[in-house]
Every structure is written in structure tokens, then in C-alpha cells.
Amino acid sequence: MTAVAPELYTLPIASRPHRTWAQTAHGLVFLVVFLFGCLMINGSQFVVLLPLRLLPFRFARKTYYEGIRYSKGAFGVLLVLACQWFAPTKLVLSFETEGQGKFTPEEIETLIQRDQNGRVTALNLPQKAVLIANHQTGGTPGR
């Protein structure tokens, strides 16, 4: 009979094992990538957009606000990149297959786009689809 190690979340923080070198390196790479991205976005705001804001012309003000909108979008892209590279997750989609509003297996297959290996690569949802986020993971231990 082998003993099963307890899950990390069940241990007090002081009792958890130390981080490995790989985890520390992973954290440092994240820090470098994220800070570099933030500095580039903020630097472009100071170097390019701030002088535009100081000019008294209408086109300069319009370009300034477009640049600010673009830099906000760039920060959003940086956040998504950081999540994809450093904290990937698995997305699970489920469809109602019983009761009112159910999907047949054929209907589900028409919504799913697969690659040559059979992996799901895209969803062909209607333009007006309702998505409901449900953060349950089956059963939460300890509750």
C-alpha cells in the first residue's frame, strides 16, 4: 500500500515544499517578458503619444486618442500572451444533450471544426450565441 501525497492546496503555506529551479526560472522569464512588454507600451505612450497631446491641432488630438486606444488593446494582448505562455488552461465546453433545447451529436459535430488529428481547433457558433461560464469542476474537495 502506497501513501498518497496530499494536494498542495491542503497544506499550510509554511509546510509546502520549496520551489524548484525550473519554477524560479519560469517566474523570472515571465517577469522579463511582462515587464518588457509593459515598458514598450508605456514608452510608446511617452515618446509618441505625449507630444501629440501637446500639439494644439485637431488631427493631433484624434491621433492621440487612437494611440491610447491602441495601447490599451496592446496591453490586453500582452495579458493574453502571458496567460497562454505562462499559465495555460484547458477549456471544456459542454452541450445540453437531454431535455428541452438539446443538441444531437450531429448538430454538435456541425459546430466543431477539427484538424487532421481530430483535435478541436475552432467552433462555428451562430453570430448570436449565448455562452454561460460555469466554474464548477465536478466536485470541490473539502466542501
CA-closest candidate to residue 120, choices 106, 130, 129, 109: 109
Residues contacting 81, CB < 8 A, separation 6+: 33, 37
* Contact between residue 67 and residue 52 where contact means Cβ atoms under 8 Å apart: yes
**pTM for the whole structure:** 0.64
For 70-115, write each residue's pLDDT tens digit.
Answer: 999 999 999 999 999 998 887 777 778 888 888 888 988 898 899 9
C-alpha cell read off for 121: 481547433
User: pLDDT: is 132 or 122 the higher one?
Assistant: 122
The pLDDT of residue 143 is 46
CA distance 52 to 69: 14
